[in-house]
Amino acid sequence: MTLLTVYLVCALVGAIIALWRAPAWPRYNLLLAIAAAPQIGHILGIRISEMFIVSVVAMILWCLCNYRIAGVPVVASGAALNMLAMAWHGGAMPVRADILADLGYHFDAGVLLEGSKDIVVHGSPLWLLSDWLPISTDVVTLIVSPGDLLIVGGVLVWLLFSRTPESERERPMLAFHTPVAPSEKRSRLTPGHSARPALTRLALLAAADPVLAERLLRDPLDAADAHPHYRVALDARDRATLAAIRARARTVGEFLGELAAEVDGT
């Protein structure tokens, strides 16, 4: 249970840092839980080799959904290295018998180590990706892989360098993301003279019409050209601005907020 305790302590420290800094919260974390379930099962002595495939697929999907968040590509690289080594050994992470012997532990090849995801081997074509880096303290001794170090590094990058968007920073981290009410966004827009008249008109229409706002989030250029009553003529700069906002925004509220900022020149 030593490894599980280390995981729990690391998770607690990460949660404290996350509450302090409010990093960008990843999406679809159920996929991450599915990917981690077989590994936790190994630590608890529950081994179902077929679940390794489910874990790989869930991890790939989670990384694809969150690759824009700082740190996630590093985590994905570390997980890929670990999974490659584990796939070669039936879903268990190889650890060499001679490395264990140097630490005072003697096991025969083929033994599944209790309380871990490791299997003892004499050698492996992918031994550089296996658990072979010992970390010893007065409290605990661990043998980690290069992939483990990348995962820890990626989590630290996420905690220290990602940032929750301003439009969501005051929300609780586990709250559901709901679009900002059009009336709230309308108050940020001031009709009148503007250096971006087409975008100003489009922002006012979107703030007054939730359906148009949803269409703008999906395809801003098409929605602007195809409005049934008020077609907005956009120049090349306006189109580039809308495309850039669409690439960054994940919700209607974020889209309208950034569009309002462009109109106001902030």
Q: Domain map of the chain by residue range?
A: 2-164, 168-264
pLDDT per residue as tens digits for the range 157-166 = 998 888 765 5
pLDDT score for 219: 76
Which 3 state secondary structure label does DSSP give 226?
coil
Of 208, 221, 206, the residue nearest 252 (C-alpha): 206
User: pTM of the entire structure?
Assistant: 0.58
Taking CB atoms within 8 Å and a gap of at least 24, the contacts of 185-190 are 185/253, 185/256, 185/257, 185/260, 188/257, 188/260, 188/264, 189/260, 189/263, 189/264, 190/264
Concatenated DSSP letters for 140-180? -EEEE-HHHHHHHHHHHHHHHH----GGGTTS-TTSPP-PP
Question: Mean pLDDT for the chain?
Answer: 79
pLDDT per residue as tens digits for the range 5-43 = 666 777 777 778 777 777 888 889 899 889 888 877 877
